[in-house]
Amino acid sequence: MAKRINKSQREEVLDLLSQGHDRETIAARVGVTPAQVSAINAHVSMGTYELSLRDSSKEPIQQSRERVDAVLKEARNLDGVDATFDPVLIGTDAESEEPVYWNPDPASGSANPHVLVLGESGFGKTYAVSCLLTELAQRRIPSIVFDYSQGFSLDNSPQEFLQFGEPEELDAGRNGVNINPLQGYPFDLYGPVSVAQRVADTFKRVYSGIGIQQHAMLRQAVLDVLPESDAEGRQEAPPFLNLQHQLESYADDPGHPNRRLAANIASHISTVFVFNTFRSNGQDMQWGDMLRSDGRVFVVKLKGLEYSLEKAVTEFLLWNFIGYVESLGPGPLRCFVVMDEAHKLSFDNGSPAEKLLREGRKFGVGVVLASQQLDDFSSVAFSNTATKLVFQVGDDNSSVSRQLHRKIRNAHSFSDIYEVVTKLPRGWAYVVTENIGRVTRVESFEERAKRWKQ
Ligand SMILES: Nc1ncnc2c1ncn2[C@@H]1O[C@H](COP(=O)(O)OP(=O)(O)O)[C@@H](O)[C@H]1O
Ligand SMILES: [Mg+2]
């Protein structure tokens, strides 16, 4: 497969890049892989290569540099956008020894900034995600981690993560959250009806026992507790506890046609109220402060919540977050949202995770999803993540290898991929970026820290 690229090939690639050829054409002409062309391209935009490598007799260096920049800028559609965002190094290609990059900037023209991380326990998912978030922090991009498994617990995080990511823990599990699920958002086109639908849908996704009838009753109960909106369509959200009282009043009313159903649904969602998780003295979620933090990592700890409640809290937090970023309007890359152990989350149509994957890019939000099983992700999650890091997986029915193979344009066969992903050592991943798959050694924190200290 890919050999190391020599100096004259490198010069030829630079030349062809400056003439505006696409990377497939360049790769074919020079006899290198498209990935190697991309790597050089990335180096050029990072200013690593001295353009004096090129035959400077053809034109003055400054002029040629400008031409290269102009070509790359055009190719990456960076016009009008701050082009200083450096791609993030994931690690080293085991075959070519070329660096493997992730380009999280939606302005770079890559399909989307989202990342999917897959692999069995202990092979390096959380470690790799921590590295990427710390790299983002060096680029002043903050991130918000929803941590169900204490994978990001500061007690056992690498010291470099603490030093360079400056993580801050928000203990939603213990303190509850200062978020009201009955709140309306700018994207609630039908006012109270949209709010009621969201609350009922969320509970239905989270509590499998909720059927169609319970869903309808829940929606009605929310509508009954929500006040009429004022002339501008605004409405003050009533205390969340009112929802429980409403369901109880249906259940206690001898004349109510669906008394039993009301009692049943009230008991289904009672955990939320028993733990009083959504409360005004709970953990404050200052999304604005997080986004203005200049690149810190915020870890929302969900551990300690009852299983279904983790999901409910995450969904309502995500809705609240989406409401906030949408109020800011479309914009450049603002932050990343991370869901480690994403199997605890629904990606169904209409879920907040699905909305973020589909629309996050527009509002400058990238998503990182990590999980152990491919089945944990919907096809939405698989097809909306342009970058994938696959650590060792069992892949019994070879569905991972098959799906990856469909995504890549380079020469790895399906069985090559299967052989690789089922045997990868710890800290190694099969990385797919820009439709190219590479066996990659993920760079360690120690190696990264040397760069960050400079
Ligand atoms: N790229 C790497 N470089 C160095 N050590 C690593 C790397 N990836 C993983 N490790 C080590 O392996 C351990 C387990 O990795 P972790 O990311 O927690 O696995 P997972 O999240 O997949 O269960 C980490 O605590 C770390 O010590
Ligand atoms: Mg982990």
> Domain for residue 216, yes or no?
yes
Give the torsion through C-alpha atoms of 369, 402, 354, 154, to 10 deg: -10
Looking at residue 34, its pLDDT comes to 80
Check pocket membership of 250 for ligand 1, CB cut-off 6 A.
Answer: no
Check pocket membership of 427 for ligand 1, CB cut-off 6 A.
Answer: yes
At residue 278, φ and ψ (nearest 5 deg) are: -95, 100
* 417/25: higher pLDDT: 417
Helix (H, G, I), strand (E, B) or coil at 53: helix
Residues 6+ positions from 116 with CB-CB distance below 8 Å: 368, 369, 370, 377, 381, 382, 385, 387, 388, 389
- The DSSP line for 226-285 is SPPP-TTS--PPPPTHHHHHHHHHHHH-TT-TTHHHHHHHHHHTHHHHHTT-B-TTSB--
Task: Kindly state whether residues 292 and 427 are assigned to the same domain.
Answer: yes
| Distance from the alpha carbon of residue 102 to the mean position of ligand 1, in angstroms | 19
User: How far is CA 364 from each of CA 10, 141, 145, 353, rounded to the nearest angstrom?
Assistant: 34, 11, 16, 15
| Distance from the alpha carbon of residue 8 to the mean position of ligand 1, in angstroms | 38
| Distance from the alpha carbon of residue 358 to the mean position of ligand 2, in angstroms | 25
List the single range of 124-128, 229-233, 317-321, 393-397 with lowest mean pLDDT.
229-233
By CB atoms closer than 10 A (0-12, 13-18, 19+), residue 242 is middle
Using a CB cutoff of 8 Å and minimum separation of 24, what contacts does 59-67 make?
A: 64/18, 67/18
Task: Kindly state whether residues 126 and 234 are assigned to the same domain.
Answer: no
Last residue of a domain, one of 253, 274, 295: 274
For residue 154, what are its two tokens? Answer: 């500061």
List the single range of 36-50, 203-217, 385-399 with lowest mean pLDDT.
36-50
The amino acid at residue 437 is: G
* 51/304: higher pLDDT: 304
For residue 57, what are its two tokens? Answer: 């007799």
The amino acid at residue 84 is: T
Looking at residue 230, its pLDDT comes to 56
| Distance from the alpha carbon of residue 122 to the mean position of ligand 2, in angstroms | 7
> Domain for residue 209, yes or no?
yes
Last residue of a domain, one of 210, 244, 274: 274
- The pLDDT mean for the chain works out to 86
Residue 227 sits in which domain range?
192-274
Task: Kindly state whether residues 37 and 103 are assigned to the same domain.
Answer: no
> Domain for residue 1, yes or no?
no
Domain count, the chain: 3
> Domain for residue 186, yes or no?
no
- Atom number, ligand 1, closest to the C-alpha of residue 129: 17
Q: What is the pTM of this model?
A: 0.81
Task: Kindly state whether residues 110 and 228 are assigned to the same domain.
Answer: no
Helix (H, G, I), strand (E, B) or coil at 299: strand
For residue 343, give the CATH number of its domain. 3.40.50.300
Task: Kindly state whether residues 300 and 374 are assigned to the same domain.
Answer: yes
| Distance from the alpha carbon of residue 157 to the mean position of ligand 1, in angstroms | 10
Looking at residue 21, its pLDDT comes to 86
Check pocket membership of 122 for ligand 1, CB cut-off 6 A.
Answer: yes
| Distance from the alpha carbon of residue 152 to the mean position of ligand 1, in angstroms | 12
With both helix axes pointing from N to C terminus, report the angle between 414-421 and 399-407 in degrees, rounded to the nearest 10: 130
Nearest ligand to the CA atom of 391: 1
- Atom number, ligand 1, closest to the C-alpha of residue 120: 22
Task: Encode pLDDT of 322-357 as tens digits.
Answer: 999 999 999 889 999 999 988 878 888 899 999 999
Task: Kindly state whether residues 316 and 353 are assigned to the same domain.
Answer: yes
Q: How confident is the model at residue 453 (pLDDT cuts 50, 70, 90)?
A: confident
Task: Encode pLDDT of 148-177 as tens digits.
Answer: 888 999 998 999 999 999 999 999 999 999
In percent, the amount of the chain with pLDDT more than 70 equals 87
- Atom number, ligand 1, closest to the C-alpha of residue 441: 1
Check pocket membership of 425 for ligand 1, CB cut-off 6 A.
Answer: no
> Domain for residue 187, yes or no?
no
Looking at residue 53, its pLDDT comes to 39
Check pocket membership of 126 for ligand 1, CB cut-off 6 A.
Answer: yes
Nearest ligand to the CA atom of 121: 1
- The DSSP line for 411-435 is S--HHHHHHHHTTPPTTEEEEEETT
- The residue whose CA is least distant from atom 11 of ligand 1 is 124
Task: Kindly state whether residues 366 and 440 are assigned to the same domain.
Answer: yes
Ligand 2 (ion): residues with CB under 5 Å are: 125-126, 151
CA–CA separation, 400 vs 119, rounded Å?
10
Task: Encode pLDDT of 73-101 as tens digits.
Answer: 444 443 333 445 789 999 999 999 999 99
CA–CA separation, 58 vs 61, rounded Å?
9
Check pocket membership of 392 for ligand 1, CB cut-off 6 A.
Answer: no
* 401/3: higher pLDDT: 401
Check pocket membership of 426 for ligand 1, CB cut-off 6 A.
Answer: yes
- The residue whose CA is least distant from atom 25 of ligand 1 is 127
- Atom number, ligand 1, closest to the C-alpha of residue 119: 22
Please answer whether residues 30 and 12 qualify as being in contact, where contact means their C-beta atoms are separated by less than 8 angstroms: yes
Residues 6+ positions from 32 with CB-CB distance below 8 Å: 2, 5, 9, 13, 26
Strands of the 436-442 sheet, one edge to the other: 99-102, 88-93, 436-442, 428-433, 387-390, 115-118, 365-371, 335-340, 143-147, 297-301, 168-171
Question: Which residue matches tokens 């829940």?
Answer: 218
Task: Kindly state whether residues 310 and 338 are assigned to the same domain.
Answer: yes
> Domain for residue 288, yes or no?
yes
| Distance from the alpha carbon of residue 384 to the mean position of ligand 1, in angstroms | 25
Task: Kindly state whether residues 104 and 247 are assigned to the same domain.
Answer: no
- C-beta neighbour count of 329 within 10 angstroms: 10
Task: Kindly state whether residues 377 and 434 are assigned to the same domain.
Answer: yes
- Atom number, ligand 1, closest to the C-alpha of residue 340: 21
Check pocket membership of 442 for ligand 1, CB cut-off 6 A.
Answer: yes
Pick from 2-16, 107-121, 237-251 the range whose average pLDDT is largest.
237-251
Task: Kindly state whether residues 308 and 233 are assigned to the same domain.
Answer: no
| Mutate-to-test residue for ligand 1 from 92, 426, 440, 447, highest number of ligand atoms within 8 A of CB | 426
Q: Are strands 365-371 and 335-340 parallel, antiparallel or unpaired?
A: parallel
> Domain for residue 48, yes or no?
yes
| Distance from the alpha carbon of residue 160 to the mean position of ligand 1, in angstroms | 14
Task: Kindly state whether residues 363 and 225 are assigned to the same domain.
Answer: no
- The DSSP line for 346-371 is ---TT-HHHHHHHHGGGGTEEEEEEE
> Domain for residue 289, yes or no?
yes
Helix/strand/coil percentages in the chain, nearest 5: 45, 15, 40
Looking at residue 3, its pLDDT comes to 66
Check pocket membership of 158 for ligand 1, CB cut-off 6 A.
Answer: no
Please answer whether residues 113 and 85 qualify as being in contact, where contact means their C-beta atoms are separated by less than 8 angstroms: no
